[in-house]
């Protein structure tokens, strides 16, 4: 495979990893928070309803911060994806230009070879 393809593959995998890893971390924290809220809302959890409400209210800022981090991560990853796509477009254009130049060079070589080849004499038999 060409170097450009490998660069595109590695860049894509890095982009996926940069999106997935933070989201998994935030997702796990959100699940733990949701489980804590669910546990506190149960009547037999060992605490009063007021304690449960206080704990829930204490967790709300953390949930808001987690959502802000998700938004920031999503925005950053979107920008990175746009840059990767822009780079890929540039690479595709460069590859097309190189291919066209190579094709032109090959045509020129074939034309030169055609002029160098001896023209057969119609009166002379081919051995």
Q: What is the pLDDT of residues 76-103, one digit of tens each?
A: 888 888 888 888 888 888 889 999 999 9
Q: Could you tell me the two tokens for 18?
A: 């940069």
pLDDT top residue among 68 and 5: 68
Dmax over CA atoms of the chain, in Å, equals: 115
Query: pLDDT at position 103, please?
Result: 92
What phi and psi values does residue 53 have, to the nearest 5 degrees?
-65, -40
Q: What is the pTM of this model?
A: 0.39
Tens digits of residue pLDDT in 8-41: 888 888 888 888 888 777 878 888 888 877 776 7
Domain edges within the chain: 3-87
Of the pLDDT bands very low, low, confident and very high (cuts 50, 70, 90), residue 106 is very high
């Amino acid at each position: 495979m060409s170097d450009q393809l490998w660069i595109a593959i590695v860049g894509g995998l890095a982009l996926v990893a940069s999106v997935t890893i933070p989201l998994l971390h935030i997702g796990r924290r959100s699940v733990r928070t949701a489980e804590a809220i669910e546990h506190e809302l149960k009547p037999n959890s060992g605490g009063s309803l007021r304690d449960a409400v206080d704990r829930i209210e204490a967790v709300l800022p953390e949930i808001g911060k987690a959502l802000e981090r998700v938004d920031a991560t999503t925005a950053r990853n979107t920008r990175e994806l746009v840059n990767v796509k822009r780079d890929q477009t540039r690479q595709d254009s460069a590859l097309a230009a190189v291919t066209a130049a190579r094709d032109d060079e090959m045509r020129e070589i074939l034309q030169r070879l055609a002029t160098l080849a001896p023209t057969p004499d119609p009166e002379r038999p081919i051995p």
